[in-house]
Amino acid sequence: MDIHFSDASVAFEGRIAVEPLTLSLRERRIGIIGLNGSGKTTVARMINGLTKPTGGRVSVGGLDTVKDASSVLKQVGFIFQNPQNQIILPIIRDDIAFGLKNSGLDKTATEAAVDAILQRFGIEHLAKRRAHELSGGELQLSALAAVTITGPKILIMDEPTNQLDLRNRMLVEKTMAGLEQKLIVITHDLPLLDGFDRVLVFHQGKLHADALPAVAIELYRELALS
């Protein structure tokens, strides 16, 4: 599912957060990097309509993120930097099932779908646990399960390895590698982007570089040290 930015820009209270951007994203694994305040998260939020362009247009699979907002939200899942903020219900199994509330599935089918997603991510043991009891890695996987059960075609992950220890980081990285969806990752964890198809570097609201991971990361390092 292709993503298109057509002269799309964002301004907040007169301040330009993202300069006019024309870009097509067709690859399966795309990284977005940049210094804090560079506009990278704003760009990612434009994809699923959490941030509306104040100029230009963004489309996902031909759907306009403003005019077709509800349809876009069904196609694009977003995992926030702190996944605990998007876990609504206290018990993990209930929270995952909540995404299917309006799907038309009966109780038996819903339970089967939840069992399948828990098994897929290897978190069956977390089903009856409470969100506040989980580690950072467990929270990431639980939030990922809750989002993917609704069947999005695109997943956006904001700093998925932020503050994770090595074991949990490796667990999340392995899980990401097995995802079927188109994946867009905002991160400061540069090694996480090894093997990605494309990396975008943003700086002061502008697209600074667009290249393969090794090239983009080197340009970013030069930018960060300049």
Q: Which residue has the higher pLDDT, 14 or 207?
A: 207
Distance CA 118, CA 81 (A): 21
pLDDT of residue 101: 84
Torsion of CA 166, 168, 169, 173, to 10 degrees: 140
pLDDT one-digit tens code per residue, 135-192? 889 999 999 999 999 999 999 999 999 889 998 999 999 999 999 999 999 999 999 9
pLDDT confidence of residue 13 = 84
pLDDT for 85 equals 86
* Average pLDDT over every residue of 72-83: 92
Kindly report the CA angle at 43 between 99 and 163, in degrees rounded to 5? 65
Q: What is the mean pLDDT of the chain?
A: 94
Name the nearest CA neighbour of 160 among 139, 180, 134, 146: 139
pLDDT confidence of residue 104: 80
pLDDT value, residue 163: 83
Please state the domain extents for the chain: 3-225
Does domain 3-225 bear CATH number 3.90.1140.10?
no
* Nearest-angstrom CA–CA distance, 124 and 117: 9
